[in-house]
Structure 1
Amino acid sequence: MHSEVVLPYAGSEAADEKTAVIELRGARQFAMHSAEGREYRILMSVPECEAPARGYPVIYMLDGHAVFNTVLDAERAQSRRSDKTGVCPSVIVGIGYPSRLPFSPERQYDYTLPVPAGNLPASPDGRPRPEHGGADAFLRFIEEALKPRIERELPIDRGRQTLFGHSLGGLFALHVLFTRPDAFRCYIAGSPSLHWAQPLIREEEALFARRLREEKLELNLLIALGELEGGAPFHSAQNARALHERLEELREFGLNAKFRVFEEENHGSTLPALVSPMLRTAAL
């Protein structure tokens, strides 16, 4: 598992390997299918050190081809001195698609809630929104297919699992937190697209708050976005800050919710800026 393997760049399946591949030691890519027949490309890296007695911590990253290399480089560099950085060696699992695009159109279905079409924000190009509402089916794939596959191949500490998503992926991370909080220990919601799922996501939040008050769970949450993401039409910064303020009330019931704003960053540039804070939060 620690030998050199090849992860192809985006492009043709039969592309010339001299120009179309990179080599990442301890990392590989493989295909998986959901019960519904949807195809995914999974990128997985393994720490260079031996697994702890309880197994490796694991980070499941949405939009797998977007910043997998960035996350892997940051994890390897910082985990060498965990005592100084607060970052521990972890298995990184990126969930991508056959296209290997950083943000595949297929994410529009997998990361979104089944809200009525009339509640969806207007499409920027005026065209009808693509198929949406597959979040629960995607979560079943993660829980019933992907996690068991990873755990068959590697010793995993089930008590130290992180879900990392950005934009619609951040919305999905919050959906999982609110509806299946025991699925992960740590949730990273970068620039969450809260405008997409109103009022359903607020209803899920209320049910989650009620559950946590009745059944204390030890959970970590980081909500983060760029300072340039505020304003009309989506009011992302205001929505995210208001969500954090509401969730702060649940701290005594086990939710350690943090909020971070990155100066001079926008919706796209927030993603790489989030990597190191994500790794530190996952290590808590």
Structure 2
Amino acid sequence: MTFQPNQSASGTLEQMARSTVPIPCSEQWTMKPRAGNHAYQIMVYQPAEVAPPSGYPVIYLLDANSVFGTMVEAARIQGRRPEKTGALPAIIIGIGYPTAAPFSPHRYYDFTPQATTEYTHKSDGTLLPEQGGADVFLQFIEEELKPDMEQQFNIDRNRQAIFGHSLGGLFVLHTLFTKPDAFRYYIAGSPSLHWNQKVMLAEEQEFIAGLEQHPVNVKVWIGMGEQEKNHPARNNDKASGLTERLSALKQPGLDIRYTEFEEENHVSVLPFLISRTIRFACSPEA
């Protein structure tokens, strides 16, 4: 059956022509790093509101193909009235890939410290893509992307956050453990802590051992869906255990918290994580 648009007396088909819906105050372009074998689609939202004297807070967002629009709308609405919402206007910098799909297989390489030894196939039965490029990806962010963004936009370098979900959440914690000064705020949504368990535990121990000589000033938030408890990976237990271990250190510059969202699963939890992230990373009270 062929759909026939309804033609009313008030307009012809030409007058009813459709167009795409843009994301306000946003632009995107492709960026090829000096190292690495694939390019990135960089998506940037800059608020319409005047920047604070120190510049805008900034959130670096992984898997931007899937969640850039959600993060932008949360920042755009909450940033209009900081005195009411508790969130300053913020720049959102999405790191995605040149694809129309919500996810790219390149994320397996970018977000993992090493190739997993526990798994060989994805849930659909296909072989896992190449892995183990987290340090190369982090180097791109630190040495190429950040300097470029800071040249183009009015960014407060003391109010930088990174948000990642699932394997992206794993990368966020890898960054915290190996280069804690890279960001002030670390948001790890449903981190895949089952992926590189031995590696991540070793990185955690090295991070803890270095705190006496190199104290940190970071805020870390790990968020999970309550229904993720039913997954055999037991990442809720792993994430809450990590939070307890780091909280027990009583380090004044290390603020870590853990939240479970009632009745939400690994995917449905994303909008809740994103909304809370705006207030966590962009509070007027730094």
Residues 1:166 and 2:165 are matched in the alignment: yes
Larger mean CA deviation between 119-128 and 262-271 belongs to 119-128
Q: 3-state SS of the aligned residue for 1:252?
A: coil
Q: What is aligned with 2:3?
A: none
Contact 2:169-2:187 within 8 A present in 1 as well: yes
Q: What is aligned with 1:134?
A: 133
How big is the shift at 1:100?
3.2
Q: What is aligned with 1:83?
A: 83
Q: What is aligned with 2:188?
A: 189
Contact 1:63-1:95 within 8 A present in 2 as well: yes
Distance in 2, matches of 1:40 and 1:214, equals 36
Amino acid at match of 1:156: I
Distance in 1, matches of 2:187 and 2:179, equals 15
How big is the shift at 1:150?
0.8
How big is the shift at 1:277?
1.1
Contact 1:213-1:253 within 8 A present in 2 as well: no
Query: Which structure shows the bigger proportion of residues in strand conformation?
Result: 1
Q: What is aligned with 2:66?
A: 66
Distance in 2, matches of 1:275 and 1:63, equals 13
How big is the shift at 1:56?
1.2
Distance in 1, matches of 2:86 and 2:72, equals 16
Larger mean CA deviation between 121-130 and 82-91 belongs to 121-130
Residues 1:282 and 2:281 are matched in the alignment: yes
How big is the shift at 1:122?
5.5
Amino acid at match of 1:54: S
Q: 3-state SS of the aligned residue for 1:221?
A: strand
Q: Deviations over 1:211-235 (max 9, x none)?
A: 2233222100000000000144201
Matching of residues 23-42 of structure 1 within 5 Å:
23-35=22-34, 36-42=36-42
How big is the shift at 1:205?
0.6
Matching of residues 228-239 of structure 1 within 5 Å:
228-239=227-238
How big is the shift at 1:19?
6.0
Q: What is aligned with 2:271?
A: 272
For these two proteins, the number of residue pairs brought into alignment is 266
Query: Which structure shows the bigger proportion of residues in helix conformation?
Result: 1
How big is the shift at 1:39?
0.6
Residues 1:247 and 2:246 are matched in the alignment: yes
Q: What is aligned with 1:224?
A: 223
Q: Deviations over 1:183-220 (max 9, x none)?
A: 00000000000000110000001111122233222100
Q: Deviations over 1:127-152 (max 9, x none)?
A: 43211001011111111111111111
Q: What is aligned with 1:208?
A: 207
Distance in 1, matches of 2:25 and 2:121, equals 43
How big is the shift at 1:249?
1.9
Amino acid at match of 1:162: A
Amino acid at match of 1:46: Q
Larger mean CA deviation between 85-94 and 251-260 belongs to 251-260
Q: Deviations over 1:213-265 (max 9, x none)?
A: 33222100000000000144201111111111111123434111011100000
Amino acid at match of 1:281: F
Q: What is aligned with 2:100?
A: 100
Compared CA separation, residues 23 and 194, structure 1 to 2 (3 A): same
How big is the shift at 1:37?
3.9
Amino acid at match of 2:90: S
Distance in 2, matches of 1:48 and 1:107, equals 31
Distance in 2, matches of 1:211 and 1:166, equals 26
How big is the shift at 1:114?
1.2
Compared CA separation, residues 253 and 166, structure 1 to 2 (3 A): same
Amino acid at match of 1:140: Q
| Structure 2 unmatched runs, 5+ | 1-16
Contact 2:111-2:170 within 8 A present in 1 as well: yes
Q: What is aligned with 2:49?
A: 49
Distance in 2, matches of 1:97 and 1:211, equals 35
| Structure 1 unmatched runs, 5+ | 1-17
CA RMSD of aligned residues (A): 1.7
Distance in 1, matches of 2:239 and 2:152, equals 37
